[in-house]
Amino acid sequence: MLTIKNLKAGYYNGPDILHDIDLEVKPGEIVALIGPNGAGKSTVLRSIFNQAEVRGGSIKFIDDELTNLQTHQLINLGISFVPQGRQVFSTMTVKENLEMGAFAISDQKLVKDNIETVFKRFPMLREKTGQNGANLSGGQQQILAIARALVQNPKLLLMDEPSLGLSPKAMKEIFAVIKEINKEGVSLLIVEQNARAVVEIADRTYVLEMGKVALTGGRDILDNEKIKKIYFGQ
């Protein structure tokens, strides 16, 4: 579904951050991207979503090459992005946040239907529909950020550190939501610091180090000595 080959990328005028990354998300998969801080995990997501400078290689989604596509084109192909730090519009209501998510859809009936679908999916958001984003807890804001992406009806959801700054309880809830969304047919590529939690829900995991894929594997990757050292100080 998503096939990245020999990706080289960086930021404007800066050095290469990613060096020949190969990565794949197959239909229906949850794929985790873990690794130390600064390894380039977010840059992989940003390269897919045209927020970093792709300098070589290819990023293909089904039949389309994504490099240099505009945000609305990416969304219309079926790719949505839940950015790091949620980026909920704090002075807009829950409903307005969801409407912002639908900016790339011109059919207003479809926008209404999609918002209704996420309200059914997350009744908490319907209850808080008129509240400002700022009045929601961290976990509720993360649900709103996910819902705002789901309004776009994605086939592939990119998520950057969904558990960042959440309480253990909210974190558990978010991972449960991610699993459910996947069961409903959305494929996911998730960058996470919380390696254990994400590897447990992922079908496959890539470990990034200094802009390169250092390891790939399934759930047993947590038993790898290198991973134990990086994440669990063992």
**Residues interacting with ligand ADP, by CB under 6 A?**
11, 14, 17, 35, 37-43
Closest separation in Å from C-beta 223 to ligand ADP: 22
Residue 14 CB, shortest distance to ligand ADP, in Å, is 5
Q: Is 120 or 229 the residue whose CB approaches ligand ADP more closely?
A: 229
Instruction: Decide: 192 and 168 in contact? Cβ < 8 Å.
Output: no
Q: At what angle do helices 94-101 and 138-150 cross, to 10 degrees?
A: 40
25 or 33: CB nearest ligand ADP: 33
Q: Toward ligand ADP, which CB reaches closer, 37 or 91? A: 37
**Beta carbon nearer to ligand ADP, 53 or 125:** 53
**Separation CA 149–CA 226 (nearest Å):** 34
Least distance between ligand ADP and beta carbon 178 (Å): 18
* Shortest Cβ 232–ligand ADP spacing (Å): 18
CB closer to ligand ADP, 92 vs 164: 164
Contact 174, 143 (CB under 8 A): yes
For residue 207, the minimal CB distance to ligand ADP (Å) is 11
Reduced 3-state DSSP string for 80-142: EEECCCCCCCCCCEHHHHHHHHCCCCCCHHHHHHHHHHHHHHCHHHHHCCCCEHHHCCHHHHH
- The upper half-sphere exposure of residue 97, i.e. CA atoms within 13 Å in the direction of its Cβ, equals 34
The residue among 35 and 101 lying less far from ligand ADP, judged by its C-beta, is: 35
Measured from the CB of residue 48, what is the shortest distance to ligand ADP in angstroms? 12
